[in-house]
Amino acid sequence: MLKSNGNIVYDCKYHIIWCPKYRKQVLVGDVEKMLKNILPYKAEELGAEIIEMETDIDHVHLLISCDPQFGIHKVVKGLKGFSSKVLRENFPHLKSTMPSMWTNSYFCGTVGSVSLEVVKQYIENQQVRTKKK
């Protein structure tokens, strides 16, 4: 689905994965439930949309759509920072057993509506079209 911010028409989706510090297995029970409740709220506030979300005991998977002008890094940083603050305030055991909630790193992969091959062929054929005219 195409979106627009006034300057750009875009359809940018990203697969994001991040882990708790030391890969601690803390994303269970009420911690998991709260995380899944607060992330969509914060994503919307950041101008992003969480299309899919799932957790395992030691990592988070998100499929996010966001404005490329704002940047996926700002969205991920905002989601991790906000969720860390809320979870650590609500679950004191996270504060006492971990120096911070999340690792500094994360995985980010783009997800396209067309395949890499289709884009390559489209780009390769651009010059062919202009030369034929």
The structural architecture, per CATH, of the domain 3-132 is: 2-Layer Sandwich (3.30)
Catalytic residues, by residue number, are 122
Rounded Cα–Cα distance for residues 96 and 21 (Å): 13
**CA–CA distance, 40 with 120 (Å, rounded to integer):** 34
**pTM attached to this predicted model:** 0.86
- How confident is the model at residue 18, as a pLDDT? 97
Please write the tens of the pLDDT for every residue from 32-57.
999 999 999 999 999 999 999 999 99
